[in-house]
Amino acid sequence: MKNIEERLNSSFDNRIHNRSFSLSQISSEHNQMKSYSIKYPDDAYNEKKYMQISTERLRSINKERKQLQLLKKQEKMRTKRLIEKEAQKKLQLELLKKKEREQKNEFILKKIEQRKIDRERSLHEREEEYKKVKNITPMFEKLRKSYVESHELPELQKKKEILTSIRDLHQPINFKEFCQHEKKWKKNRKSMMKKLVDKRKEMNRSSNNLPYKSKFTKDYLEQEAIRISEKLHEKEKRSNYRVKLKHYGKLVQHTFRPEISKTKKQEIEAMKEMYPNERCIIKSNERKSTPSNASVTPQKKHPYRQTGFPRSTNITMPTKKKAWKKVNPMVPKEKPKEESKTSVTVDYLQDFKKKRSKKGKKPDLYYAQQQIKRHLKKNGSMSPKEQMDEVKNLSRALNEKAEQKLQQVMVNKKSSNLIEESNNLIIDSINSKLMLLQKI
C-alpha cells in the first residue's frame, strides 16, 4: 500500500510541477511586456494585443488549475479507493490466514490429544503386560521352590524336631507348668476314678441282684449280717460305757471338789512371816492355763527362788556347762566355687524326691477310709440307709479313739506320737463323713 501511494504522489507532483513552470513563464513574459510598454509608449496597439493574449492565457491557465485540482481530487479518491480495496484484501487475507492458522492449531491440538491418548493407552497396556510378566514366576524359581519343598524343608523339619527334643530334655521343668499338669492329672484321675466306681457299682449291683442264689451264699450273707450286727452292738456298748464313765467323772468333780490341805497352808504362812521381804514364787496350774501369761515375755528366774529357799542358805545349785562351739567363727571360711550361670540347671523332680526321702514315709491318713470302703464292698447287699448308719458308727468310734489318745496326752505330756495318732484318727473320721456326703 505504501509503495502504491508513493508512486501515485510522485506522478501527480510531476504533472503539477510542469503546469506551474508554464504559468511562471507566462507571468514573466507579461511582466516583460509591461516594462516594454512603459519604456516605449508609442506601441500602444501592440500592447492591447498583448493584453488580450495574456488574459486569454490567464483564463486558460485558471482552467488548467481547476482541471488540475479536479485531477488531484480524482486521484486522491482513486488512491483512497485503491487503499481501501487493498486494505480489504489485506483484511480478507489476514482473516483467511487466521482461519488457516486456527484450523492448523486445531488439527495440531487434535493430533497432540490423540497422541496423548495413544501414549496413555500404550502405557496402560505396557503396565498390564509388565504386571503379568512380573507375576509370572520364572522357571528357575519354580524349580528352586520345588526342590526346597521336596528336599530341604523335610530335612530342616527333622533337624528342628531333633533340636527341640534335645532342648526339652536339657531344659528345667517350669514350676507353674508342673502345677498345672498336676491339677489336670488330678482332674483326669478323679474323672477316671468316678467312672471306675460307677462301673464297679453296676457290676456289684448286677452280681448282687442275681435272679438265682445258692444256699451257700444265702447262709454266708446271713452269717456276715449277724457278725456285723454283733460288732456294732459291742461298739455301742463300749461307747455307752465311756459316756457313763465321763458322766460319772463329771459328777464326782462336781460333788467332791478338790481342797487345799490345811497343813501345807500353815507352812506357807509361816514361811511368809519368817521372810516378809522375800517373795516366794509359787507354781500354780491356774497361771499356766490362763492365756494372758502367754503374751508376757518370759523372765529369768533366780535359782534360789525356784526352790523357795532364802539367799542366805548354803545350798549349792547345779550350774549349766558352757557349750563350746566346735567350729571357730573367727576363722575365715573358704569361699564356695562360683558355678557358671549357663551350666546351672534345676531339676524339680529330683528336688521333690530328695525332700520326700528326707521327710520319710508319712503315715497313711486314709487307712480308715479305705477300710470303710472295703467293709461296704463286702456288704454290698446293704441298703443305703444301713450303709450310712454303719459309716456313722465307724466315724464315732474313730472320734472316741482320738479322745482317748488326747486323754493319754494330758497325762503324759512328752508323748508326741500320741498327738499325731489322735490327729490322724480325727482326720479319718472327717474323711469318712465326707465320703458319706459324696454318696448322698
Cβ(382)–Cβ(376) below 8 Å:
yes
Region for residue 34 given its phi and psi (left: phi exceeds 0; alpha: psi -120 to 50; beta: otherwise): alpha
Contact 301, 281 (CB under 8 A): yes
User: Distance between CA 128 and CA 122 in Å, rounded?
Assistant: 10
424/259 Cα distance (integer angstroms): 38
Per the model's pLDDT, the better-predicted residue between 215 and 12 turns out to be 215
By the 8 A CB rule, do 399 and 242 touch?
no
In this structure, the dihedral spanned by the alpha carbons of residues 321, 323, 324 and 330, taken in order and rounded to 10 degrees, is -130
CA 429 – CA 403 distance, rounded (Å): 12
Question: How big, in percent rounded to 5, are the helix, strand and coil portions of the chain?
Answer: 75, 0, 25
Residue 118: pLDDT above 80? yes
As a whole number of angstroms, the distance between CA 246 and CA 252 comes to: 10
What dihedral angle (degrees, nearest 10) is formed by the CA atoms of 288, 289, 291, 292?
Answer: -50
Check: CB of residue 437 under 8 Å from CB of residue 392: no
Buried b (16+ CB within 10 A) or exposed e, 239-248: eeeeeeeeee
At residue 359, the pLDDT reads: 53
Name 280's Cβ contacts closer than 8 Å, sequence gap at least 6: 268, 271, 272, 305, 308
Residue range 139-156: mean pLDDT, rounded: 88
pLDDT at 344 over 60: no
27 grid coordinates: 507571468
> In this structure, what C-alpha cell is assigned to residue 129?
503386560
In percent, the amount of the chain with pLDDT more than 90 equals 12
Report the alpha-carbon distance of residue 387 to residue 436 in Å, rounded: 9
Higher-scoring residue by pLDDT: 10, 51 = 51
Torsion over CA of 244, 245, 246 and 250, rounded to 10 degrees?
100
User: Can you tell me the mean pLDDT for 154-182?
Assistant: 86
pTM: 0.22
Q: What confidence tens digit (pLDDT) does each residue in 245-278 have?
A: 888 778 777 777 767 777 878 888 888 887 766 5
* Residue 210: C-alpha distances to residues 21, 199, 203, 217, 375 (Å): 177, 17, 11, 11, 21
> 295-320, pLDDT tens digit by residue?
444 444 444 444 444 444 444 444 55
Distance CA 61, CA 15 (A): 14
CA dist 325 → 229, 318, 328 (Å):
65, 22, 7
Average pLDDT value for residue range 103-107: 91
Q: What's the pLDDT at 207?
A: 65
**Mean pLDDT in the chain?**
72
| Torsion of the alpha carbons at 69, 72, 76 and 77, rounded to the nearest 10 | 60
Can you tell me the mean pLDDT for 98-105? 90
